[in-house]
Structure 1
Amino acid sequence: MNETMLADIPGRGVDALKQLRAMTADICDVVPLTAEDDFHVTTVTMMTRNALLVDTRATDQEYDRTPAHVARGAMDHFQITLCVEGEMRFSSGRREVTMGPGAICLIDMAQPNRTVLRGGGSRTRLMAIILQRAMLAPRLAHPDSATATLLPSNHPHTRLLASHYAALTLPPEPEAGSAEATIEAIADIVAAAAGGTADIAAGVERAERHLYLAMIKRRIADNIETDALTADELCRHFQISRATLYRLFEADGGLSHYVREQRLNLAFRQLISPSAEDTRLIDLAVGMRFSSDSTFIRAFRRKFGLTPGELRELADNWLRETGAVPTIDTVLHQLARRRTS
């Protein structure tokens, strides 16, 4: 995500309720379904260039968005809401849905609606991607009738989509693709479920492929120094076939090639770090799952144009001359200059 803002309603009780009502006066009426002293809401809002991701934990309560609220024009957006914990009941006109954990619902905030949260003795947790109308409406064949579209927890795409809600709150992995592209793919799949345009329906497979690939690449990044990256393990974890897995990585030169490249990138970062200066090359090679230090050195030279030992020497010289640890970009720039000189 590009930016994170904390919007935490401080404490609980009457003062917290008053503060929330003041913040949402133009959006909805807030009605606690517990004693006011027990009222509590915590929200964390994260921003990208094309969406907001809002993570909310709340005691039992109701939100009423009346025609008067809609007329004020404070929120002419769609939101794609995932229920993580508890229960959410949403109604708009004659349309009504009930969501439990794992379910996803498309909501049109330009229409009057009512939301009831019930945590069953705990707090309800919702995660919502909020999109400008100009982004989602062109994807829908009938934008004004898409609200309350439910993707239940057993829908073919909900597990895939839900995994990306959690991933969007984490530091970005460059190889996994941008948060913006992930949100575009989520919007395509939800729009298709709600009755998308012909172009959107035709592009669902592409959006699904993007989300699977981003999800698998994040798992690879999280387990790059382990043995949990075999094709069999990834297929089992993501419940996909070996053929599907291999197709996903065709553009990256294949799964094995991609994993090896990421391990070499990690080795590069470790080699320029002073904290790893005493690490033997054989230990680094074994940690990166190479069969020997000579195999590791050859692969490293092919990728970066110098040996691990030469990279260490370059980084050490930079540290002595500048007093600072070189960044990866600094080292790569120096290598590029060396090749052209």
Structure 2
Amino acid sequence: MRFSSADFDTPELAIERFRQLTGDLCDVIIYGDAKDFRVSSATLHLSGALLLESQTSALRYDRTAQHVARGIDHFQVVMYLAGGAEFVARDRTFLQRAGDICIIDMARPSLTREMQARDGATHVLSFVLPRLLLTPLAMTDAGPTVRILPRETPYGRMLGDYMLAVRRCAAELTHSESQAVVQSLALLVASALDSRPDAGDTNATLSQDAVRARIKLHIDANLGLGSLGIESLCREFGLSRAGLYRLLAPQSPAGYIQQRRLHRAFAMLISPAFRAWRIIDIALECQFSSDATFIRAFRRQFGLSPGEARKLAEQRVPGAPPGSGQALPAPDAEASRWIAQLTGTVLSGSPA
């Protein structure tokens, strides 16, 4: 099945029809002017699963308890080929970059805020798998609402590579081949859901570099939580305060967390998806107690104020370093390199 805003006389009619199609799954909020809305999507049935690929304007998807109650009990496996998203679930915020794999439990409420690519759109590949397909394969079905597999990890790269391979061949598969492909994908996803290392059991067998990488990934996944701090990290990873300080040296844990929150705030300020947010809203979202505290810390880190960063983003290519006179490639240039690494080719529509 295919759907395209180009088939409608006006963007408003396309939006209305798109909301009708997605109404059982979530509420859709359009970022920016409705007249700029565009969508092109294709759906393919694969032996009990769905393959979805879409290119759209940046959107916000709000899956509420009312939507969950309608009984669609699936997992969605998502990879952004261009753009990215923030997922909010159970008061936690998860950042997904292009090339990362995100597994979403659709049986729980969540909020998705998309971050568009340089061309103003997002490009998403996803698979929807019934829970009944995963339950016999997973050791437990009580996993998190959202799980991110970073593109840097071997398992994340492997799963992304598999998704793209299925995408290339899906339309040519026989029924029995399609069943085998879906079963293999379900097994890979179930294994990812089960991969929850217990810090108390595994830290002794991991190198310091591996533990440090896990700590940093955990910090990035929880930047929106006020409870993120030295004590929570020590509990999570079974470390003493001295051990945590040694792993993150020469920075202090608090200094590293603030630096990551400032970088997250910078990304929000230059993203059109957050253009309507006030600076104080971004400051609070990134766990700063006031706009004054945020502005001081931001200026120390980047050499300009949050307001100046936002104005620069409107005048030049996003991603240019503060104070430089030369614009660098947009953030999605880096993302396209990751996708090219996975596919062996540069995707059409992606920056070279």
**CA distance in structure 1 between the partners assigned to 2:134 and 2:91 by the alignment:** 22
Q: Secondary structure at the match of 1:52?
A: strand
Other-structure match for 1:180: 179
Other-structure match for 2:189: 190
Other-structure match for 1:116: 113
Q: Secondary structure at the match of 1:178?
A: helix
Q: CA deviation at 1:174?
A: 7.4
Given that residues 3 and 39 in structure 2 are in contact (C-alpha distance below 8 angstroms), is that contact kept between their aligned partners in structure 1?
no
Other-structure match for 2:64: 66
Given that residues 2 and 40 in structure 2 are in contact (C-alpha distance below 8 angstroms), is that contact kept between their aligned partners in structure 1?
no
Given that residues 96 and 148 in structure 1 are in contact (C-alpha distance below 8 angstroms), is that contact kept between their aligned partners in structure 2?
no
Other-structure match for 1:30: 28
Other-structure match for 1:6: 2
Given that residues 168 and 179 in structure 1 are in contact (C-alpha distance below 8 angstroms), is that contact kept between their aligned partners in structure 2?
no
Q: CA deviation at 1:166?
A: 2.6
Q: Secondary structure at the match of 1:179?
A: helix
**1:99 maps to 2:115:** no
Q: Which deviates more, 179-188 or 53-62?
A: 179-188
**Residues 32 and 174 (structure 1), Cα distance of their counterparts in 2 relative to 1, 3 Å cut:** closer
Other-structure match for 2:168: 170
Rg bigger for which structure? 1
Q: Secondary structure at the match of 1:157?
A: helix
Given that residues 52 and 125 in structure 2 are in contact (C-alpha distance below 8 angstroms), is that contact kept between their aligned partners in structure 1?
yes
**CA distance in structure 2 between the partners assigned to 1:137 and 1:102 by the alignment:** 26
**CA distance in structure 1 between the partners assigned to 2:65 and 2:53 by the alignment:** 26
Other-structure match for 1:86: 83
Q: Which amino acid aligns with 1:69?
A: H
Q: Greater relative contact order: 1 or 2 (C-alpha under 8 angstroms, separation 6 or more)?
A: 2
Q: TM (normalized to structure 2)?
A: 0.50
Q: Which deviates more, 97-106 or 178-187?
A: 178-187
Q: CA deviation at 1:56?
A: 1.3
Q: CA deviation at 1:113?
A: 0.7
Q: TM (normalized to structure 1)?
A: 0.52
Q: Which amino acid aligns with 2:191?
A: A
**CA distance in structure 2 between the partners assigned to 1:48 and 1:160 by the alignment:** 20
**Residues 144 and 8 (structure 1), Cα distance of their counterparts in 2 relative to 1, 3 Å cut:** farther
Other-structure match for 1:149: 147
**Residues 133 and 31 (structure 1), Cα distance of their counterparts in 2 relative to 1, 3 Å cut:** same
* Alignment gaps of 5+ in structure 2: 197-340, 343-352
**CA offset digits 1:246-304 (Å, max 9, x no partner):** xxxxxxxxxxxxxxxxxxxxxxxxxxxxxxxxxxxxxxxxxxxxxxxxxxxxxxxxxxx
Q: Which amino acid aligns with 2:145?
A: T
Q: CA deviation at 1:178?
A: 2.4
> Percent same amino acid among aligned pairs?
30
Aligned residue pair count: 193
